[in-house]
Amino acid sequence: MSTTFKRILVGVDDSADALLAFKYAIGQAAQTDAELVIVSILESDDMNVYQALSKDYVHGERDDLKKHLLKYQKQAQAAGAKHVRSLIAEGEPGETIVKEVIPHLQPDLLIIGSIAKKGLARRFGSQAAYMAKYSPISVLVIR
């Protein structure tokens, strides 16, 4: 029995693994004519308290991320994915994707890299482990 994915969610954070996951997701979406949704998480714990309280700073960070995601979107379209959109969410990546993004978008598949780009947790791939364990949909972890 073959599984056809109609909507694929891919998480990006500029880490090497996330870029591999992104390229794989593009291939899957192009091959199966699935919708590709690119998600990135604005992590407020990366900001100091003054930055987090400054609406201008947060707005600037969000705008930068939006521009960055537009590059991903164009890259996916240039590589053959026809139905591409992007989304920014805020919070802790694993939890936000599992508890907010997936229920909202209802994708069939989540594709993520195994190691995040930041902090101590990157050694353990804790975000990927969290998503693989708690996601209500299939998760493909790319290394």
Structure-model confidence comparison of residues 139 and 13, the more confident one: 139
How confident is the model at residue 10, as a pLDDT?
98
Q: Which domain holds residue 74?
A: 8-142
Is 38 among the domain residues?
A: yes
DSSP 46: G
Is 124 among the domain residues?
A: yes
Q: Are 91 and 121 in contact (CB under 8 A)?
A: no
How big is the chain, counted in residues? 143
Is 1 among the domain residues?
A: no
* Residue 20 reports pLDDT greater than 50: yes
Is 119 among the domain residues?
A: yes
Is 3 among the domain residues?
A: no
Q: How many domains does the chain have?
A: 1
Is 32 among the domain residues?
A: yes
Task: Kindly list the strands in the beta sheet with 7-11, ordered across the sheet, starting from the edge strand earlier in the chain.
Answer: 83-90, 35-42, 7-11, 109-113, 138-142
Q: Which residue has the tokens 């947790």?
A: 121
Distance CA 65, CA 48 (A): 18
Any idea what the CATH number is for the domain that residue 57 is in? Answer: 3.40.50.620
Per residue in 89-130, pLDDT (tens digit) is 988 899 999 999 999 999 999 999 987 665 544 444 688 999
Is 49 among the domain residues?
A: yes
Per residue in 53-95, pLDDT (tens digit) is 667 766 778 889 999 999 999 999 999 999 999 999 988 899 9
Is 2 among the domain residues?
A: no
Q: Are 121 and 13 in contact (CB under 8 A)?
A: no
